[in-house]
Structure 1
């Protein structure tokens, strides 16, 4: 009898637990809330989609990314890169095919988590902002405006950039170093350790301030323009481009290209200053030789404002847009590929929530 009581008690407890679990799931369903396990899986899928989007888009334009940085930081007394085609040919001739992709491994190691955090942060920020906006306006059917999307994108950009900034800093140095550099960084982790030991922890965040200021219009405009343009196309359906309430991949690529072009043009001067500040303190970089054959030390900057002042004073206002052409050629496909890849991967993984949602 005792054993039967134990079995009966165990069976009863199991039945009660099952009923409780079913009740909880029913409650989640009634309230439109996902069960905790489902929510965690959805978050992981979203992060994976963002990471894949970043890695694919950045690798596709790696040669242009490297050339852009080389143009940004080259000394006016030692011009080696005069344009996109000439610059790519020079890299190919002096360093070979691998030279075109130098720093891409480090770049992907940074951009994959950066992109994952950025897309996920945008979804969370836009959801939070939309909820607050609906509460304040009293309109439960209100939708995000372009300005609110800009704010959500800015939040996402700041969070993602701050979380991965040290990797971006050393990636810039690895990209710039050449065979003539006395000291060679062997990889991202070696560079992180070397900068930390030789220059201190604060050196890992050199150029952080202009990055924060620049990421607001850059990432913010990327998301705001992309989403607003898609929303406008879906509502107006010009030339009948909308099929079954969906935009084609080509149309979404075009939306991403427009968003990327606008964002990077507005924020580009801050990106130039950020790169130059990242090079400050790197005493083992390749020596700079002037036109008179004399070795000239690179300029030192005391801060963002000082970097702006010295750059404009010594090289003119146009120096703030050095590398803009290869960057424009890079950004158009890069941003477009990132957005579309993100949405496609989420579709493949079966994530219900899209960026626009």
Structure 2
């Protein structure tokens, strides 16, 4: 006897549920990105200023001095300059990144299990690393123009001859005066850097949590759940390793983004000087090391480390907490 067809309303319910689940996951990722980045906005701005300032015109020479100098010369608002643009970029970036990670992880695990002998395979750090790398590339590429203009908005000061008035003005000005390709300056080192950075963040965070739950050192994870403090520590460890490995590429990316900016702030070009031109990523590495030494590839690492530890930790934990509040599966990997 032929089975009865399901009513159209019942058939639509799974699709509606799946759509809502996707929306909730994207919202959770966006909230996590906005909260984590706003919490460390002053350190984010100082990091970029340290990365791009001219070696002959040093104004920022450390975390404490740099923050005090910004406060003295630009006030409280100066500490958060560029954060609106940053959040406008990081919210969709974070939403896409977390969602892409979950989908990539499912796809990679399914493909791996299709291979003979791997039918019962479980998630491994390598599979998580691959999924994290895919998620990072997708999210970075989708929002890169926002990151490019955010760097310029963050660097400009009251002394900048040209003032970008906001995100749209910066995007349209760069597009009009420097061409569409300028919006993707520094994209290659960004993509190369995001592979170990995001990949290691996800892989280490999830692997550390799984290890703590399985081994239960010091009585952790007795109920197959870790405390917020422990998860924050896992996120901090993952973020520290990831950003240290990828940091030189982040410095080169920032410097390449400034090329072509004729009215840059003096802190970038130096008084009466122009920004150094780079023909590509390799040339940027070569000139940076040649003129400023190998240590220049780690300019701003200290404030970035202070920033990354809470930022990555807050992002992961916020994501899981928001998903829990919205009634979505809490664990990032299934």
TM-score relative to the length of structure 2:
0.96
Counterpart of 2:275 (choices 273, 298, 318) is 298
> The residue matched to 1:44 in structure 2 has which SS?
helix
Counterpart of 1:45 (choices 5, 11, 24) is 24
**Is residue 77–residue 289 contact of structure 1 (8 Å, CA) maintained in 2?**
no
Inter-partner Cα distance in structure 2 for 1:96 and 1:185: 19
The verdict on how the C-alpha distance between 1:289 and 1:251 changes in structure 2, with shifts beyond 3 A counting, is closer
Residues paired across the two proteins, number? 331
Q: CA deviation at 1:64?
A: 0.1
Hey, what does 1:202 align to over in structure 2? 181
Inter-partner Cα distance in structure 2 for 1:23 and 1:104: 45
Q: CA deviation at 1:148?
A: 0.9
Hey, what does 1:251 align to over in structure 2? 230
1:180 and 2:167 are equivalent in the alignment: no
Q: CA deviation at 1:142?
A: 1.7
Task: Give the alignment of 1:7-156 within 5 angstroms.
Answer: 19-21=6-8, 24=11, 35-156=14-135
Deviations 1:123-153 (Å, cap 9, x if unpaired)? 0000001111111144443211111110000
Hey, what does 2:203 align to over in structure 1? 224
**Is residue 32–residue 314 contact of structure 2 (8 Å, CA) maintained in 1?**
yes
Hey, what does 1:348 align to over in structure 2? 325
The verdict on how the C-alpha distance between 1:131 and 1:69 changes in structure 2, with shifts beyond 3 A counting, is same
Q: CA deviation at 1:242?
A: 1.1
TM-score relative to the length of structure 1:
0.90
Inter-partner Cα distance in structure 1 for 2:9 and 2:174: 55
Larger Rg: 1
**Is residue 53–residue 268 contact of structure 2 (8 Å, CA) maintained in 1?**
no
Inter-partner Cα distance in structure 1 for 2:282 and 2:192: 12
Structure 2 regions of 5+ residues with no counterpart? none
> The residue matched to 1:214 in structure 2 has which SS?
helix
Q: CA deviation at 1:286?
A: 2.2
The verdict on how the C-alpha distance between 1:22 and 1:74 changes in structure 2, with shifts beyond 3 A counting, is closer
1:321 and 2:298 are equivalent in the alignment: yes
Structure 1 regions of 5+ residues with no counterpart? 1-15, 26-33
Deviations 1:44-76 (Å, cap 9, x if unpaired)? 000000000000000000000000000000001
**Is residue 288–residue 298 contact of structure 1 (8 Å, CA) maintained in 2?**
no
Inter-partner Cα distance in structure 2 for 1:353 and 1:62: 27
